[in-house]
Amino acid sequence: MDIDNITKGVGAITAALALVGGGYSLYDKIGFDDPILTWTPEYFKISSGPANRSFKVVVAREKHRDDCTVTDFILDVRDSELFVHKATPSITKFMGPATDKVDTFAYSITIDKPEKVAAGEATLIAYIHYECPEGLVVVNYPDHQNLRFNIEG
């Protein structure tokens, strides 16, 4: 056995492992996007009405991944004076299979302290927390005209 050949073999294996590890680190640093879903806001719709009533919300998405679970669903309403108010949805979790088709679903919301909400155009804001293999992922509703609705005074 030649010590020089063993050293070259160990060096080659070490280089290969470094290449694999470096490639994984690069992938992790760059963060190639693997989105859970894509919103299709052209299907979104929110009913108008007085702040002390419920509002019907219709949203739509294409779900791309099945390996994440919804752990929290937080809603806020930004009123016409730009104050943000907590809202409660009629659903706390939603699910469905990954598909390349648009999945449309509806729920209702109520504003927690309606007496503090200004009348006029309001915007629905959502934060959906997913537990995924890579950790916590937060998805928001897009900034779109169809997430605006009227709170009557």
Q: What is the mean pLDDT of each run of 10 residues along the chain (153 residues)?
A: 67 63 49 86 98 97 95 97 98 84 96 98 97 96 97 93
pLDDT at 147: 98
Note the pLDDT of residue 30: 53
Q: How far apart are CA 80 and CA 5, in angstroms?
A: 76
Output the CATH code of domain 37-152: 2.60.40.3930
Q: Report in angstroms the alpha-carbon separations of 119 from 81, 82, 83.
A: 9, 11, 11
Whole-number pLDDT of residue 112: 97
Q: Say if CB 87 and CB 70 are below 8 A apart.
A: no
Among positive and negative, which fits the CA dihedral 100, 102, 107, 113? positive
Looking at residue 27, what is its pLDDT? 44
| 3-state SS record for the chain | CCHHHHHHHHHHHHHHHHHHHHHHHHHHHHCCCCCCEEECHHHCEECCEECCCCEEEEEEEEECCCCCEEEEEEEEEECCCCCEEEEEECCCCCCCCCCCCCEEEEEEEEECCHHHCCCEEEEEEEEEEEEECCEEEEEECCCCHHHEEEEEC
Instruction: Give domain limits for the chain.
Output: 1-32, 37-152
| Burial class of 1 by CB neighbour count within 10 A (0 to 12, 13 to 18, 19+) | exposed
